[in-house]
Amino acid sequence: MLLNNTDSRIAIVRGDITKLEVDAIINAANTSLLGGGGVDGAIHRAAGRDLLEECRQLRGCATGEAKITQGYKLPAKWVIHTVGPVWRGGDNREDELLARCYRSCLALTEPNEIKTIAFPGISTGAYGFPMERAASIAVTEVRQFLESNTSLERVIFVAFGEKAYNCYQQALL
């Protein structure tokens, strides 16, 4: 496959996002930012109680927006918490709100000198967003951002399972 400079900065990695040695990992949080299940639970368990303490100070986060904290016991220096839309059939601005999550997270990279970042499939677990459609939005937004950004060196899509891996691969074709 011939890669342009944008796609050469994108990778798909299988496994657990909490193990990745990147500058920042993204958390698919809920509006309270006070922890939850899925990837949120895994991140809070791995980071330790200090993460919850810092999250309390943030007073929540609106859908489509993002807030940054330290990573504490994680290998990642930062956690960027974003809140994806709950899937309600697709006619309730879900695509637009999911795209906004990616843009909000990416916008925090340059001011925080983040060079490497990893995304889980925001909204594709408990929030029910179809994985294939979510992967396509994720890839579109990341590509668009990288086209005009030169500071971010690596963007990793973390595939938690075979289906997710195939969806990212397909979206990157």
Binding interface with ligand ADP (CB under 6 A) = 16-18, 28, 38-40, 42, 84, 120-127, 158, 160, 164
Cβ closer to ligand ADP: 73 or 110?
73
CB 140 to ligand ADP: min, Å: 18
Closest among 60, 23, 37, 65 to 152, alpha carbons compared:
23
CB 94 to ligand ADP: min, Å: 12
Coil, helix or strand for 68? strand
CA distance 85 to 122: 9
Cβ atoms 8, 20 nearer than 8 A: no
Cβ atoms 33, 81 nearer than 8 A: yes
Cβ closer to ligand ADP: 108 or 158?
158
Cβ closer to ligand ADP: 129 or 145?
129
CB 14 to ligand ADP: min, Å: 9
Closest among 33, 94, 39 to 68, alpha carbons compared:
33
CB 151 to ligand ADP: min, Å: 25
CB 128 to ligand ADP: min, Å: 7
Coil, helix or strand for 156? strand
Residue 132 neighbours by CB under 8 Å, 6+ apart = 167, 170, 171
